[in-house]
Amino acid sequence: TQLLEQSPQFLSIQEGENLTVYCNSSSVFSSLQWYRQEPGEGPVLLVTVVTGGEVKKLKRLTFQFGDARKDSSLHITAAQPGDTGLYLCAGAEAGSYQLTFGKGTKLSVIP
Amino acid sequence: DVKVTQSSRYLVKRTGEKVFLECVQDMDHENMFWYRQDPGLGLRLIYFSYDVKMKEKGDIPEGYSVSREKKERFSLILESASTNQTSMYLCASSLLTSEAFFGQGTRLTVV
């Protein structure tokens, strides 16, 4: 089973600050996804990256896939309280629909 | 929008009971998945299904079984519930990619 390591596990920041969350593996993934989960709810897909070096932007969120497709990062600019939640990365092997999930980064943005 | 609906948000069952968790998706997705989510352990795959009447074991199938008699419905069965099966259970579906759409989750407590 491939493993995805996320860091940091917990992050508490003030509104308006920037932050970066990391997702690393020793394995190559054909695609990598980021989800956000709010307490008591299921994860919601934010983005999928498939090409090494790919960068995608979703408003104040910037997602990057590593050149070797083994790692990814999520950068949030000027964090808002509404960004609070659990951020999960998940990777899929080539030819598989099965996802391997990281354990998540719990983000708290304090007003 | 894809909708994945889990039959219950909260369930309390007694040790030894047979428990059924139901999941229905309305987008004609081929793939369906059951995960459990526990603090510090992340999302772990219990079972998945690529088609009607087909099922594959995930990483932690012990103590669980599944049923997929219709394409839109995927049921998770706890044959004899135990306290270590207290958890958040998440159902997901996907089409021909790994992008998963999750239900709202069922928080099961076994007493």
Give residue A55's pLDDT: 97
Interchain contact, A88 vs B42, CB within 8 Å: yes
Question: b/e for A85-109, b at 16 or more Cβ within 10 A?
Answer: bbbbbbbbbeeebbbbbbbbbbbeb
Give residue B1's pLDDT: 67
Q: How confident is the model at residue A3 (pLDDT cuts 50, 70, 90)?
A: confident
C-alpha to C-alpha distance for B101 and B84, rounded to whole angstroms: 26
CA A61 to chain CA centroid, Å, is: 10
Interchain contact, B97 vs A97, CB within 8 Å: yes
Q: Across all residues in chain B, what is the average pLDDT?
A: 94
Give residue A87's pLDDT: 98
Give residue A2's pLDDT: 62
Quick: pLDDT tens for B37-74. 999 899 999 999 999 989 999 999 999 999 999 999 99
Compare CB distances from B102 to A43, A98, A104 and report the shortest one's residue: A43
Judged by DSSP in three states, A2 sits in coil
Looking at per-residue confidence, does B96 or A102 come out higher? A102
Compare CB distances from B90 to A42, A96, A97 and report the shortest one's residue: A42
Interchain contact, B102 vs A102, CB within 8 Å: no
Q: Across all residues in chain A, what is the average pLDDT?
A: 94
